[in-house]
Structures are given as C-alpha cells and as structure tokens.
Amino acid sequence: MRLVQSSALLEQARRRRIRIDRCELQSAVELARLAASGEHEEFGFATAVDWLRITLHMREGDVRDRLFVGEQAGHVPASVAAMEAGEIGFGHLVLIAKTRRALVDSVHQTLSFDELQLLACAREESVGRFYYTCENYRYACDAAGYAEGAIGQHLLRELTIRRRRDGMSTLWGRLDPVAAASLRSALAPLARRQGKDDHRSFKQRLHDAMTERLGAAQEARINITMSVETLAGLKGAPAAEIEGQPPIAQPTSDRLSCSGSLRRFVLDSDSVVVDVGRSRRVPSPPARSALDGRDQGCVWPGCERPASYCSPHHLVHWARGGSTDLDNQVLLCYFHHRRVHEGGWQIFRDANGQITTFRPPPNFELRETPGADPGAAA
C-alpha cells in the first residue's frame, strides 16, 4: 500500500517539477528581455543583474543562469522541447545554454556547437555529472578559449587570514582547481578520525590536519617569546606570546617549546633576551633520525601516524630538568601531543620501552571536552 502511495506521490512531484521547469523557462525569457531593455539605469541600478536580483528577490547566480537560458533558448530548440517534455531538467538547459554562449563568444572556437550531441548526454546524466560533460565538450571545441578562461579564473584566486576579536582567526579563500586539489589531498588523510575516542568534528579535524601538515613542514618561521618564569611554569608568570597573536596559555606554550617548530626568545625579568634558539630541545638531525628510527611514528597506543608528521615530546619537559637524550623523548602526532599538554593525559615509558597512558582525572580543569564543537554552538 505504501509503495503505491509513494509512486503516486512521485508521479505527482514529477509532473509538478515539469510545470515548474516550464515556468522557469518562461521566466528566463522574460528576464532576458528585461535585461536587454537597458531599463535598469532608469531605476538607478548599475547593472541589469542587480536590478533583477533585488527587484525579484533572487540570488545573483540564479539571475545569471536564467539570463543565459533566456538569451539562448531560441538557439537550442531541441533542448527546450526535451525540457518541456520532462526528458531533461531546467538545470540541464542552463548548462547547455552556458556552453553554447561560451563557444559562440570565443574567438578561438575550432569545432561548432552541436546541440544534439550534448542533449543526448543530458538525457542520460544527472545535472552534476552533466556539468563535467559540458566542460569537457567546451574544451574539445575550444581548447585555447578554455585556457584563456582558466587564466581569467586564476586571477580571482584569493586567501585571507583575518583576526577575530576573540583571538581566533578566520581563514577564507577562493582556490584555483590545482590549489584546491593539492589542499584536499594534503589534508584528507590527516583529517580521518583517530580511533573511537576521537570526538572531534570533521571541521575540527580538518583544522588540526592543516596545523599538523604545516608543523610537519618544519622550519615554521614564527617566534615565540616567553619569560624565564613562564618557561619554568611558575605561578603568576606572564603568558608566552607569538608575534601578532594573543597570549598563549601555558600548556600550549609548553607543547610548542617541547616539539620545537618555533624559534624561542626567553626574556629575564628586565625583558632582556637571555636565550635564543632551539638547539637544547630540538634533536640534532642525526638524533632526530634515531628517534624516527626507534619510534617509527606516534608512540600513542593504537596511533599509526608516521614519523614525518610527528614531533618529539619530552617525557620530562626540558625546561624542568628533562634531558634531551633519546630516553627522555618520544614521537607524538599533533592530536596526541595536544592530548598530553592541553588535555591533561599522562604518558610514560617503562624500562622495556613500553608506553602507558593515563586519562586525566574527571575534575581536570583544562580537559578538552569530548564532542564539544564550539563552532556548532556559535
């Protein structure tokens, strides 16, 4: 019974969608006529798109799509008929119209636009898949024009890092296809969940993957400034600072100075620099190789992060008397290194090299709450 009902509902939805698509086509033709009239200036708008977008409560991209269809509808009659018959959707028609327009506009076109070839694909493919078919078709007809378009697109690339009032920063960008693919392939493997105990959201994991990746690149050219008291972990000591950033809390400055991807400046009580560098805490290249060779990767039980993404952790922090000998160091990945310094976990290695970890006590103040996603609540 339920099957019958849903198939009847589906048929009803399909018929309604065809009617909506036909209305969209009529609307597109109207919008194109309005845009061609040039009347937007009389209404005080700089462009026809702005005029229509604001007057008709539409998104800019939606207006542009309809203008393509309205302009091109007379040149793609078979596609219009196929849409009216419900064989393709309005989304397919938008792509066909855009492809024709791009080819007609191009001065380099080597093959003429073949509507029927594209329409045959549109009948078989989803709108999402058909987008790539149209792009490939455009390339086949007009490789030089496509390359020109790619150069124009590349000019639009941008990336901004903006400080927020709360001390966090917002990263926003428009990446060209190669940059986007590189970023994705660089971060995706590191953004996977690290065991069932890993309660970070995907967005948080992606953030951490970026931090981990950049840390692995080594030689990050950032400086951390801290006082002798901070380094010793004394009560009332001022916070460590990274240039241009708000104060860094003690557990984090401990972690940063532990692994050594930063250059540190230690100041005495008169703000005189008493120690610069990182030779004491960062293993020399042969020592790091020995550490990599011994630990192979993150030593946290169950973690499989390879050595190249890990940083050395001093079981007893070097600023509190821990040695820089291999015995006092283990490799930890970003996630587990954070767990130790900021998360209150403890990690030990016994005489046989066996690693043991202990959860923080339930009342541990700095514990990073599992499952918490501040971004979701904001």
C-alpha distances in Å from residue 45, one per residue of 20, 57, 259, 367: 29, 15, 57, 55
Residues 68 and 101: their CA atoms lie apart, in Å, by 7
Residue 104's closest CA among 113, 94, 95?
Answer: 113
**Strand, helix or coil for residue 356:** strand
336 is a site residue for Zn ion (CB under 5 A): yes
- The one segment of 99-107, 132-140, 173-181, 296-304 that binds Zn ion by CB under 5 A: 296-304
Give the contacts of 291 (CB within 8 A, at least 6 positions apart): 283, 307, 312, 326, 329, 330, 331
Closest to Zn ion by CB, 94 vs 331, is: 331
Q: What minimum distance in Å lies between the beta carbon of 286 and Zn ion?
A: 21
What is the DSSP code string of 190-204? GGS--STT----HHH
Closest to Zn ion by CB, 149 vs 322, is: 322
| Cβ burial, residue 87 (10 Å; 0-12/13-18/19+) | middle
Q: What minimum distance in Å lies between the beta carbon of 312 and Zn ion?
A: 8
For the chain, the C-alpha Rg in angstroms (whole number) is 30
Closest to Zn ion by CB, 100 vs 313, is: 313
- The one segment of 53-61, 95-103, 136-144, 300-308 that binds Zn ion by CB under 5 A: 300-308
User: Which parts of 211-270 interact with Zn ion (CB under 5 A)?
Assistant: 258
Residues 263 and 243: their CA atoms lie apart, in Å, by 11
355 is a site residue for Zn ion (CB under 5 A): no
Reading phi first (left if > 0) and then psi (alpha if -120 to 50, else beta), residue 321 is in: left
User: Crossing angle of helices 90-105/127-141, nearest 10°?
Assistant: 10
- The one segment of 16-24, 47-55, 163-171, 308-316 that binds Zn ion by CB under 5 A: 308-316
User: Which parts of 187-216 interact with Zn ion (CB under 5 A)?
Assistant: none
Q: What minimum distance in Å lies between the beta carbon of 238 and Zn ion?
A: 21
At 223, which amino acid appears?
A: N
Q: What minimum distance in Å lies between the beta carbon of 125 and Zn ion?
A: 43
Q: Which of 113, 300, 309, 318 binds Zn ion (CB under 5 A)?
A: 300
333 is a site residue for Zn ion (CB under 5 A): yes
- The one segment of 27-35, 73-81, 86-94, 334-342 that binds Zn ion by CB under 5 A: 334-342
Closest to Zn ion by CB, 119 vs 333, is: 333
Closest to Zn ion by CB, 138 vs 255, is: 255
Q: What residues line the site for Zn ion (CB under 5 A)?
A: 258, 298, 300, 303, 305, 313, 333, 336
